[in-house]
Amino acid sequence: MLLASLLFGVPKKPTGLRPITAGEVWWKVSAVLGMSPITTNPEMAMQLFAGVQLGSLHKGGVEAVIHLLQAQVDNDPTACVAAFDTRNAFNTIRRGAMLSRVLAIPLLRPIHALIAWGYRRPAPLHVVSTDATLLSTEGVRQGDPLASLAFDITTQPELVALQQTHPDCRFWAVHDDVMGGGPLRSLLVAQETLQRLLHPLQLTLRPDKTRYLVRSLAQVEVLLGRGHSRDHIFTCAIPLLGSAVGPCEAERLRMINAKVESTANRVTILTSLALPAQMKFVLITYALQMELLWQWRTNPPNLTATAALRACEIMWSVVSAIICLPMVSMDALDVTRA
């Protein structure tokens, strides 16, 4: 009963529902407290993940992956990039393998008792607005502070084996997102290797969703001949982890600006909500600040200047709408150019 969660669905594009669970607060508090000896140890990340998995315990790990892949593209005119997609990874990873691997690591002793108690038996999922109850028997639970760490520990041996099998490539992961840079031929073989390694964990790659950045039209033809979708083949820049990686700065700039415009669309929705003006302002400011901060962390200044100016335009339009001021052109505001 203490491990029960509510289960409900939210719309998922283009059709269908995405299952979302909400667990007990007491479990989350206990997990955060139990993990504190691990999360506060600055050497724990390298000891557990050896610089391959940068999702858990690595502050700024996502930014590091983007910069590492961009450096590889900049330094090697033949280097390609692959972003492998795993199907429903967190919900399907084999729970028995997760328990055995976590419990076998002495460094994780502070969470051994908690994770063993929480995952050794199925947990009930009460479906909202119905009398139905399902059982969670595989994977890690959504919203569990232990989930990402447990998942990353479980897949770490496979990631190390992937790197050792393909030394001419370099691979990094952010939880279930595995990315690599190197020769296209090696990356294609690595995709098959990774699928074979993940199979015992009940994880499956989605070849139709795997994205590639290639450096020539001949490589595009190779991927098309292997059944890859043209929509997932890029030659100038590849969208990656909310940013962009590639040899073409103009295309990276276009992708960055597109992200800001996407934020602007969400801002429009927030503006239309029946909320107090102060709350709207706080929510919109936070959304824009987070997007800009992310782009500044993952891209050089010359690629983020235009995005920053666009964010200022969005903010001014929002403030004008909220407090009913007349619109002013950004060209008239010299302070934004300073």
pLDDT digits (tens, 9 = 90+) for 291-316: 777 777 888 877 777 777 777 777 66
Q: Work out how many domains the chain is built from and give that number.
A: 2
Share of the chain above pLDDT 70, in %: 90
Listed range (113-127, 153-167, 172-186, 250-264) with the worst mean pLDDT: 250-264
Structural domain boundaries enclosing 286:
249-336
Give the pTM.
0.84
Does 332 score more than 70 pLDDT? no
* Residue that finishes a domain, picked among 245, 277, 297: 245
Q: For the chain, where are the alpha helices, taking DSSP H only?
A: 25-39, 44-49, 61-75, 89-92, 95-103, 109-119, 147-165, 184-198, 217-225, 249-272, 277-298, 301-323
Does 9 score more than 50 pLDDT? yes
Are both 224 and 280 inside the same structural domain? no
Are both 44 and 131 inside the same structural domain? yes
Q: Which residues contact 225 (CB under 8 A, 6 or more apart)?
A: none
* Residue that finishes a domain, picked among 209, 229, 245: 245
Q: How far is CA 212 from CA 80, 186, 222, 238, in A?
A: 7, 12, 11, 7
pLDDT at 299: 81
Does 94 score more than 70 pLDDT? yes
3-state secondary structure of 137: coil
Q: Which residues contact 292 (CB under 8 A, 6 or more apart)?
A: 260, 304, 307, 308, 311
pLDDT top residue among 73 and 263? 73
Report the alpha-carbon distance of residue 258 to residue 251 in Å, rounded: 10
* Residue that finishes a domain, picked among 245, 280, 306: 245
Q: In 10 A of CB 214, how many CB atoms?
A: 20
